[in-house]
């Protein structure tokens, strides 16, 4: 059985960062992108879990990704992948391969459509979602992890 390798296509020339209706800035393709395309590797400084925990819930910790226990801080030496916003109706998913974090399209994406992935936070306290999609669950947490309190 052969091993599959991810071929990274650096699409910085194909997408741009601009103001987003979801939150702050977002990434938008300059052309149509087919389903299954590896569009970017999330990069940044590798930091410790302790540093990640210290930065959690601070502006400096906003772009930290947990890549199977390796913490990538996109705010330090990161690329534009840090501007992919969350959506409950995402058009990109993440794929971890050899301790690297890739963003891959899960459907055909039209030029100008915001590139989004489902953050699926593991926090138990709900983190408000602002995606505005018809599939919005109201929070950015993974549905299995969140504990909703009704009053």
Break the chain into its structural domains and give their ranges. Answer: 15-117
Choice between 83 and 141, residue whose per-residue pLDDT is larger: 83
User: DSSP letter at 141?
Assistant: B
Do β-strands 85-86 and 116-117 pair in parallel, antiparallel, or remain unpaired? parallel
Measured distance CA(33)–CA(14) in Å, rounded: 9
Question: Lowest-confidence range among 73-82, 101-110, 117-126?
Answer: 117-126
- The verdict on domain 15-117 having CATH code 2.170.270.10 is yes
- Beta-carbon count within 10 A of 113 CB: 14
What pLDDT score does 58 carry? 82
Query: Which 3 state secondary structure label does DSSP give 116?
Result: strand
Q: State residue 9's pLDDT score.
A: 47
Mean pLDDT of the chain: 86
Band of pLDDT at residue 34, cut at 50, 70 and 90:
very high
The answer, yes or no, to whether residue 150 has pLDDT greater than 50, is no
């Amino acid at each position: 059985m052969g091993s599959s390798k991810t071929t990274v296509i650096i699409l910085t020339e194909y997408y741009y960062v601009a103001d987003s209706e979801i939150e702050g800035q977002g990434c938008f393709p300059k052309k149509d992108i087919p389903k299954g395309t590896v569009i970017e590797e999330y990069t940044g400084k590798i930091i410790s879990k302790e540093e990640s925990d210290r930065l959690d819930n601070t502006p400096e910790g906003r772009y930290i990704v947990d890549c199977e226990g390796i913490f990538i801080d996109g705010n330090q030496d990161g690329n534009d992948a840090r501007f992919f916003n969350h959506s409950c109706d995402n058009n990109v998913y993440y794929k971890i391969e050899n301790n690297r974090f890739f963003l891959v399209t899960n459907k055909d994406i039209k030029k100008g459509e915001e590139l989004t992935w489902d953050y699926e936070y593991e926090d138990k306290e709900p983190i408000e979602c602002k995606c505005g999609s018809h599939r919005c669950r109201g929070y950015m947490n993974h549905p299995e992890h969140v504990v909703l309190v009704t009053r």
